[in-house]
Amino acid sequence: MIACLRLFTALCLAALLAACASSPSSSLGELPRTPDASIEQLLAQAAQSKDPEKASLLRLSAADLAYRQGNAGQSAQILQQVPVETLKPGQQVFASTLAAELAMVRNQPKAALTALSHPSLQRLSELPVEQQVRTGTVHARALEADGQTLAAARERIFIAPMLEGEAASKNHEAIWTLIASLPTDQLQPNTSDDLGGWMGLAQAVKTAGTLEQQQAAIDNWRAQNPKHPAAIQLPLPLTKLKELASQPLSKIALLLPQDGPLASVGKALREGFMAAHYQAQQAGQKPPAIEFYDSSKLTSMDEFYRKAQADGVQLVVGPLEKPLVKQLSARPQLPITTLALNYSEGEQGPAQLFQFGLAAEDEAREVSRRARADGLHRAAIMVPKGEWGDRVLRAFSQDWQANGGSIVATERVDQPVQLAQQIADMFQLRQSEGRAKSLQSTVGGQVAAQPSRRQDIEFIFLAATPQQAQQIKPTLNFQYAGDVPVYATSHVFSASGDVNQYNDMNGIRFCETPWLLEANDPLRKQVTAQWPQAAGSLGRLYAMGVDAYRLAPRLGQLKALPDSRIEGQSGSLGMTQNQRVVRQLPWAQFVSGQVQRLPDTPR
């Protein structure tokens, strides 16, 4: 009877191993398959097995099964029990791939790439196609998450011929997303392979201006590369561009307040918008008709959309009022594509809603980008007290720290009388004075000691009005910190031409709209000749109006082509995945009472 039980147990073990292993290979080793057993059964059999290789194979299969069932924690625990270095090369590839997949579940791409650097991966091409695809896919995901966009695209291009059906389609679209997100200067289509073809397509589309020019560029590329995968199956975003080109924009609704507290803002936006419209007419283009609507008289957004639809409107530009934008953002969908001229609080709105504004958060991130490009690592922050200052502080801090920077001090500016004390606290000057007094009492006499400031602050991020900045910079000089670079948002710049004011801010670097830094721009000259106020701080709103007009027909382009940009009057404009237009700005510095343009931040 005991002999029969032993025979039965042996047969069960053999059956389990056969279910969870592929055909053996003398040098690479057996690979686990999805077993016809539970995790518990596999682990029990592994514990009973006297063959270390078979026990490892069973545990590897159990770890894989736990991962496939969505239990990454259990999978990782089981995988730790597998002595990877004792496995055969094929099994090592399997284990390393699973380790990489588990690292990606934990959002640790560097750990995933480390797992995939195991020497056994050199024999990946000898393994079954399924394993090559699985390893290649997690490798591409890890490279992308680590910021190695081009390498991720290469990996996906490599596995593309091994895929079919839905997996092939998803990989195809992922390749385009990666290639299209590369900056234009990294697109070098100088090879005749698939990668060179993908780059050539992205370059052709990105360097073309209008939708019509893009279509011509795509058609020309397809004619020259008829056998390329992207020519056989055009990526979906480019298919959508084709649809956009076949539906030209003929009527825009401009929805802005004409009365109330935002009337002057609405007026500047409207005048900038129409200036761009007239410029397009003068250039011989056929711009869309503009229909004006007063948002300050609105009783219902639904009623507005019904009227706009009846009027034949294809795109709405506006509203400006934040409560209305918030209301639109909360809707599941909109009847007409809408470019709101403000931002809602939430992250994602309906597919038909795009958002554009002069967000101070954009400028805070721009300061972070510039200071990082200048090789700085440790920041002190000065922002006004209140909700606006908190938003700017949060935007800067998140971007700065996410990119490896550190924040060593923060002050919220409020009352001018407290400013000297705040700056002294920031630079720990009182501690320095205290040390000098202590030394005097020790030696019993006068000690010549100049207060010394802390040395770990490499620069100050400043978000302040011109009046605040006029007090802050001289106080920094007085408090022995005049040599610390100050990087500011555009809010320090009044564009008034006041030499005395600019002198008080000598040395401050700030980001600003091209409109206010490029006085010789032809459209700016026309506008300021008619509306002189557009040369001052209101000019930012005129610039935004101009850009809203230029964005209107190109929203689909920005959405379809990740990382593409429009060089606008309010900044270099791009779009996030949640359809918010974001700005990158040029830089200037106050030098001897003048505004001196600085080189642009490298992209």
CA distance 317 to 308: 12
Give the per-residue pLDDT at 141: 96
Identify the CATH number of the domain in which residue 33 sits. 1.25.40.10
Strand order across the 486-488 sheet: 406-413, 378-384, 459-462, 486-488, 509-511, 587-591, 594-598
Q: What are phi and psi of 253, to 5 degrees?
A: -95, 125
Nearest-10 Cα torsion for 346, 348, 354, 357 = 30
Same domain, 389 and 257: no
Q: Any idea what DSSP says for residue 359?
A: -
Query: Which secondary-structure segment (H or E) carries 501?
Result: helix 499-504
Same domain, 275 and 390: no
Same domain, 342 and 374: no
- The model's pLDDT over 327-383, given as tens digits with 9 standing for 90+, comes to 999 999 999 999 999 999 877 789 999 999 999 999 999 999 999 999 999 999 999
Average pLDDT in the 205-227 region? Answer: 86
Query: Which secondary-structure segment (H or E) carries 280?
Result: helix 263-282
With 0-12 CB in 10 A as exposed, 13-18 as middle and 19+ as buried, what is 7?
exposed
Number of domains in the chain: 3
Ranking 58-62, 134-138, 241-245, 442-446 by mean pLDDT, the lowest is: 442-446
Strand partners, 573: 566, 583
Same domain, 272 and 344: yes
Residue 152: inside a domain:
no
Q: Which domain holds residue 315?
A: 251-355
Write the DSSP string, 189-220: --SSSHHHHHHHHHHHHHT--SHHHHHHHHHH
Identify the CATH number of the domain in which residue 267 sits. 3.40.50.2300
Nearest to 315 by CA among 566, 544, 551: 551
CA distance 564 to 553: 15
pTM more than 0.85: no
End residue of a domain, out of 304, 321, 355:
355
| Max avg pLDDT among 288-297, 477-486, 574-583 | 288-297
CA distance 601 to 320: 30
CA distance 80 to 234: 44
| Neighbouring residues of 494: CB distance < 8 A, sequence distance ≥ 6 | 466, 501, 536, 537
Ranking 216-220, 289-293, 412-416 by mean pLDDT, the lowest is: 412-416
Strand partners, 487: 461, 509
Same domain, 365 and 507: yes
Q: What percent of the chain has pLDDT over 70?
A: 90
End residue of a domain, out of 131, 147, 163:
147
Distances (CA, A) of 565 to 285, 524, 583: 22, 21, 9
Same domain, 444 and 593: yes
Q: Could you tell me the two tokens for 89? A: 């090369």
Distances (CA, A) of 570 to 235, 467, 544: 31, 23, 6
Give the per-residue pLDDT at 478: 84
Please say if the pLDDT value at position 18 is more than 90: no
End residue of a domain, out of 326, 355, 384:
355
Distances (CA, A) of 505 to 473, 482, 500: 6, 11, 9
- Asked whether 356 and 548 are in contact (CB, 8 A), the reply is yes
